[in-house]
Amino acid sequence: MTLGYYPGCSMHGTSREYDESLRAVIATLGVEMREVHDWSCCGASSAHLSDHLLGVAMPARNLALAEEQGIDELLAPCAACYNRLSGATHAVAEEPGMAEKIPEVIGRPFANSVRVLGIIEMLQRQAPIIARVAEASRPNQLEHLNIAAYWGCLLVRPAEITGFDDAEQPRGMDDLISACGAKPVSWNMAVECCGGAFSVSRTSSVLRLSRAIIEDARSCGADAILAACPMCHGNLDFRQGAMSLRGQPPMPVLYITQLVGLALGLPPEKLGFARHFVDTQPLFAHLAQEADKAAVAAAERDAAKAAKAAAKASAVAAGERSS
């Protein structure tokens, strides 16, 4: 079955590396994916504030296009688009009169038959394959990566629409990190807000909220933060330069598709790391160093084991001679 793809506006602009790494991962996994033709903006983060109907109608046009183009399942990797699209399907299904109103407003037939998929749900389906590839490449550098799964707001809330296991402590991203062969960090800010749409209009609030997230990740032992939302990534990565990090080194922020791409053995150049504001090179250097250390330790262990075995063998041989 072909998966529909709704990139959303940011994936064509400030979060290009999310789109690039997603496409690379999808191609490697052999999933067929087709972009919705002539898609328009879903209206996040502004339409729903001024008018609830507009907040439903803007995403509904795209859902209607997907329907017309024979798409049953629509992947919306941007957390804000995912929130608006799935919210619209919910509103049309639940709110009285909405199912009749929407086709009239958008000027298209609309049966509300498309299922909206978030990035985590889509990748969870592929987790066994990802885990198999990652396992086969062991020992690898990702084993030494401690990473904090950052959900933010829009992927998990509202819980009755997104349907994740737990609105406060969801597991899905941690499981994916494990499937990739990396280590999920246990921390406190996984579902806290980064300041989202205030990135431009109230930057001071974003700096306060995002810095708290970065500092908590660091104090819980994370080498990097894992994000699945262009707004979160922008606030944590792009805005980090304006934060006081109290002498600590910058914290790299990876998209989940970039981590999965690495686990699948894709070269970092193909995953758009060069587009980040926080340089990821020190992180990769650290991982390579840890991997070397582990390799040396393993070799030493093996040598010690061999020496012990040899000593035992010679002792046995000596014992046999003396008897």
Partner 1 sequence: MRRTADINVARCYQCGKCSAGCPMGSEMALAPHDIMRLAAHNDRETLFGDDAMWLCLTCETCSARCPNDVDPARVIDALRELAAAEGAGHSPRNVRAFHKSFLEQIRMTGRLSEVGLIMQYKLRSGALFQDVAASPGMLTRGKLPIVPPHISGVGEVRAIMAACERERVARAAAGQTGPDTHDGEGAS
Instruction: By CB under 8 A, name the binding residues for partner 1.
Output: 9-10, 12-16, 38-41, 43, 45-54, 57-58, 61, 65, 95-98, 100-101, 104-108, 152-154, 156-159, 167-168, 191-193, 195-198, 200-203, 205, 209, 238, 241, 274-277
User: CA angle, 154 as apex, 158 and 230 as ends, to 5°?
Assistant: 170
Sheet with 115-117, edge to edge strand ranges: 33-35, 3-5, 73-75, 115-117
- Tell me how far, at minimum, the Cβ of 200 lies from partner 1, in Å: 6
* Chain Cα centroid distance, residue 2: 21
Comparison of 158 and 268: residue with beta carbon closer to partner 1: 158
Comparison of 64 and 177: residue with beta carbon closer to partner 1: 64
- Tell me how far, at minimum, the Cβ of 56 lies from partner 1, in Å: 9
Comparison of 274 and 310: residue with beta carbon closer to partner 1: 274
Comparison of 18 and 262: residue with beta carbon closer to partner 1: 18
Comparison of 142 and 150: residue with beta carbon closer to partner 1: 150
Comparison of 50 and 323: residue with beta carbon closer to partner 1: 50
CB contact set of 162 (below 8 Å; sequence gap of 6+) = 83, 86, 118, 155, 156
- Tell me how far, at minimum, the Cβ of 179 lies from partner 1, in Å: 26
- Tell me how far, at minimum, the Cβ of 206 lies from partner 1, in Å: 9
- Tell me how far, at minimum, the Cβ of 134 lies from partner 1, in Å: 28
- Tell me how far, at minimum, the Cβ of 199 lies from partner 1, in Å: 9
